[in-house]
Structures are given as structure tokens and as C-alpha cells.
Structure 1
Amino acid sequence: MTTVTPVQTPVRPGTPADAPGVPDDTVLSVRGLRKDFTLHTIDGRVVDALHGVDLDVRPGEHVALAGTSGAGKSTLLRCVYRTYLSGAGHIWFRTAGGELLDVAGLPDAEAADLRGQEIGYVSQFLRPQPRRSVISIVASAGVARGMDRTEARDAAAAALRQVAIAEHLWDMHATVLSGGQKQRVNIAAGTIAPPRLLLLDEPVSALDPANRAAVLDLIARLEETGTAVLSVFHDLDAIERLATRVVVLGGGRVLATGAPGDILRNPNLPLEVAR
């Protein structure tokens, strides 16, 4: 049994008629998304991770995913970024040019191009290629989003200053950095020439209080650029500060959605956040 099955080929360019129920003003519209995993090394059982998730994110909106461990939050981000193939459903992404693409069904090469140009992803881990300098990692993200090399290097320097990476580290190989430094380099690369959609998976988990505050400030300013953000935090204060809306997942399904103040203090919802 295979773990996943490719879904329908996307319509290009997309229109609302091609994607029923997708609002005209969204950057991301997830519809009926399903994902399972086959435990080949254990007993071959199939574990369901997502069970028909629907979700929208608009320009300048910050949607935070909440829920207990195993609820499907990181799996959802990876399906949107297409490092996981989904089993069924659609992941409609509206490009800067107005095309409506189903990320779930794009060929791998087209999905990779879209990731480089319009969709950013920041996790709590940076896995840099050997012998790549800190500044080249960040600058290459800017080049992928349309900057020329000189402009990208200048923007990379500014981004590294914003996340307090000392200049004497810029030309060092990123593999020698500490975990917190790598996380800040990851943030710099994710926010340079801000993408149309930014996915954040625990981006401040390894940071000390001062650097955490600086990174949260940087993420907060993304609203001004119109960047749509879909995030996972296990930090109630960060969610309250950044999110315009919270979506609660449980058992791979959407259990609730609403304003942070309403959702995060609802004792009937399965949340796993810390102050």
C-alpha cells in the first residue's frame, strides 16, 4: 500500500468556477485536505493525520494553528509547502499574477519554483548545505524571490542585523552556528523580500527572551507587507500578539476558528499552549 495518492491536476489559470467555495480574496484556500502515513517499519498500519481540513488565509492575515501534539498542525504546514504529498483534497494558492494553482497536484519542479518565489517556510531547525556561508543562505532566498544579487546581498545584511546576527558571523559556514543562531538565520531567509505566503513552524522555540522579542517584532511587521502567514506556536503570548485568527485542530480536523481572545480561553477546546 502506498502512503499517498496524487490528486487532480490543477487548472491554470484558476477561476472561482474551477475551485468552488474558494473566496476571491484569499492567498491560500485548503479544501478537504487529507493525509495519512503508513508505518512500514512497524506493522504496516495506516495512521490518519488530516481528515478533510478546510482553511483560508488572506493577504496580511496571520492565522495561527493551535491544538495538542499530534493534532496535525505541522503536517498541514508541510502539505501546503509540498514537502508532504497529500492524500486527497486541494490546496489552492493564488499567485501574485492572479493564477489559482492547486499546490497538491503541481509537478515537483513547479512546486519547487513556487516555494522559492512565493511561499516561504521557517521551522525551528536550519539544515544548511555544507560550506554555505550565513549571508549566502539568506541572499539566495532573495534571489529566488526576484532580487538581483547585489540587491539580495544588501537585503540579506539588513535582515541579519534585524535578527541580531553579528557581522563577523556572516561569512562563516552556517553549520558552526548555535541552535538559536541557526533559527535566526532561518527567520532572516524566510522574511527577506517577504513572500506572498509565509509558513512558520515554531520559529522562536530556541531563542532567548531578547532575540525572541526581536523576531516577534519582525514577524509582526509582515502584516504591513501584505504577507499571508500561517503559523504554529506553542506560546500563548506569541499567538495573542501576532495572530488575527486562530484555527484549532484536533484529531486532524478543524474544531474551531475565531479571534485569539475567544479561542485561547475556551476551556472546552483541546489546546496545548504555554505562557
Structure 2
Amino acid sequence: MTSPQHTAPPPAPPADVPAGSVLSVRALRKDFTLHTIDGRVVDALNGVDLDVAPGEHVALAGTSGAGKSTLLRCVYRTYLSGGGAIWFRTSGGHLVDVATLSDAEIVGLRGREFGYVSQFLRPQPRRSVLDIVSSAGVARGMAREAARDAAAAALRQVDIAERLWDMHATVLSGGQKQRVNIAAGTIAPPRLLLLDEPVSALDPANRAAVLDLIARLEETGTAVLSVFHDLDAIERLATRVVVLGRGRVVATGRPGDILRDPNLPLEVAR
């Protein structure tokens, strides 16, 4: 007679992780070895702590080299971190440490619950614009037909002409690719959206349309962690600004207070 199987309970959440947070980064470290120079080790992140709640938009600020994009890539697991924890609360309410998940588990989270939008779109060859965007919706649980309808609405929102929807995304201009990237990142909004300079290549009209789309994510409860070098965009979208300097958090607060502090290391433009 076999004994009954018992499933081990999930680990208790760390005491300092807020009960409602979607993302909680703790003591995160990341360094790079400059093999092509002299083998020196450069610290990019040196003990970063931050939290992002549902519906909150946290913008990262700081000078070039402060670690902003590196932090986003560690959260998305494009980079492996060198220490610390990246706690993510799944749609099922479980806390998982992104830094220690297997590659297969990370791929699953990216498809369902993470979104990442950078200034570059690297589409697979021979995939149409509509297919790229609708596939993102399917990965997040939408039925295929509903995903195509939502993709069409998202593409209209970012002013991608319908005559381009069946074209391979590789032939689009840089600005068009960036708008397709935004449409795919925001369709069936994920629990966590990472934005790395998502409007850098856009003209003023398309920039305004994309910022409108990002602003509406607050209503969906999506947690957003972003990097902008645009003061107006940060002031419009962010609920909180976290300033990084030398790989550490040096300040955090409301955009109106942080962005006008002359003593903080910032590189933002109006």
C-alpha cells in the first residue's frame, strides 16, 4: 500500500516584501567583466531595492551608466543577476524569484505575465505585423480571433496603417517597428510591463499616441517599470521616480519633487 503524496507548501514570502506588490527587487547585484580591455570587473548594480505595485508606474532615472537598462534586463532575465532576489507575484498569487527560475519557467512567464518593450523590434523573419501583435495576445490567454481583433485595435491606436498589417515587420521603418513593439507589449496587458526608451524614435504625433496608450495601463492594474530620457513623459506617466547612481538607489519620490532636485544625478531632457 503506497503512502499518500503530499505537496510541499510554497515558501513563505520574505518579510520585507509588501503584500500587494507585483515586483519586489531586493539587494540586486550585477557586474560585467571587460574581457576585451583588461579583464576588469565593473559593478552595474550594487544592491538595488525597489517595489512596484499593481497600477503603479515607476520610472527609473539617473545618468548614463547608472544601471537603469541593466535593471530592466535582469528583471526580464535577459541578464543573469549576480546576487539578490527579484520577487514577482504571479496571477495565481505565488511569489517566485525570477533570478533563480529555470529558463523554461522564465519563457512561460514572459509569454503570459511579463511584457518588455524597448526602442528596438527584432521580429522573426516572414512574420506579419498583425501576427506579431496578435500572437502576444494569444500568449497571454486570449482566444485567437479575439487576439486578432485586439491587435487591430492596438495597431490603429499607434497609427500603423492597415495596408502594412500583412507585411513582414522586417521591412518597416525604425519608428514603425517601435510602434508595433508597443502594440504587442500592451495587448491584453500583462501583470508587469518593462519599458526601455519606448518612444525614442517617434515623431511628436506618434509619440503622443503611444504615451496615451501607456497612460491607460493604470486602469488595467498593470505594474510598469520604465526608463525614459524625457522629462515630460516621466512627469505625465510616472506615479513614482527611482533615481539610480553608481548602481544604487539614491532617491525615490514623486516626479515633481525628484526631477527638479538640482542635487540628484539626472539626465533627462524636456
TM range (shorter): over 0.9
After superposition, where does 1:15-54 map in structure 2 within 5 Å?
15-16=12-13, 19-54=14-49
Q: Distance in 2 between matches of 1:205 and 1:88?
A: 31
The answer on whether the counterparts of 1:12 and 1:100 sit within 8 Å (CA) in structure 2 is no
Gap regions ≥5 residues in structure 2: 1-7
**Cα distance in 1, alignment partners of residues 269 and 229 from structure 2:** 6
Alignment of 1:159-170 (within 5 A): 159-170=154-165
Counterpart contact for 1:62–1:244, Cα < 8 Å: yes
- d(CA) in 1 for partners of 2:269, 2:113: 32
1:107 maps to a residue whose letter is S
Q: Distance in 1 between matches of 2:253 and 2:177?
A: 33
Map Cα deviations across residues 115-172 of structure 1 (whole Å, 9 max, x no partner).
1100100000001111110011001101110012111111111110110000000000
Partner Cα distance (2:72, 2:84) in 1: 15
TM-score, scaled to structure 1: 0.94
Calculate the TM-score normalised by the size of structure 2.
Answer: 0.96
Specify the alignment match of 2:248 in structure 1: 253
Q: What is the rounded CA distance, in whole Å, between the counterparts of 1:57 and 1:51 in structure 2?
A: 19
Which of 197, 203, 207 is 2:198 aligned to? 203
- What corresponds to 1:240 in structure 2? 235
How high is the sequence identity, in percent, across the aligned residues? 86
Match of 2:10 among 8, 13, 34: 13
Q: Indicate if the aligned counterparts of 1:124 and 1:204 stay in contact, CA closer than 8 A.
A: yes
CA distance in 1 between counterparts of 2:218 and 2:15 reads: 28
Contact map agreement 1:38 1:44 (CA 8 A) in 2: yes
What is the aligned partner in structure 1 of residue 184 from structure 2?
189
Shift of residue 12 of structure 1? 7.2
* Bigger radius of gyration among the two: 2
Q: What SS class does the counterpart of residue 239 from structure 1 fall into?
A: helix
Taking the TM superposition and a 5 Å limit, the aligned residue runs for 1:109-120 are 109-120=104-115
Name 1:213's counterpart in structure 2: 208
CA contact (8 A) 1:145 1:195 kept: yes
Match of 1:122 among 117, 128, 145: 117
Whichever residue aligns with residue 194 of structure 1, its letter is P
Instruction: Indicate the residue corresponding to 2:225 in structure 1.
Output: 230
User: What letter corresponds to residue 160 of structure 1 in structure 2?
Assistant: L
Q: Secondary structure at the match of 2:12?
A: coil
| Paired residue secondary structure (2:183) | helix
After the TM superposition, list the runs of 4 or more consecutive aligned residues in structure 1 that deviate by more than 4 angstroms. none
Q: How does 1:126-165 map to 2 (within 5 A)?
A: 126-165=121-160
1:269 to 243, 259, 264: 264
Question: Judging changes above 3 Å, is the alpha-carbon distance between structure 1 residues 262 and 141 closer, same or farther for their aligned structure 2 residues?
Answer: same
**Cα root mean square deviation, aligned:** 1.0
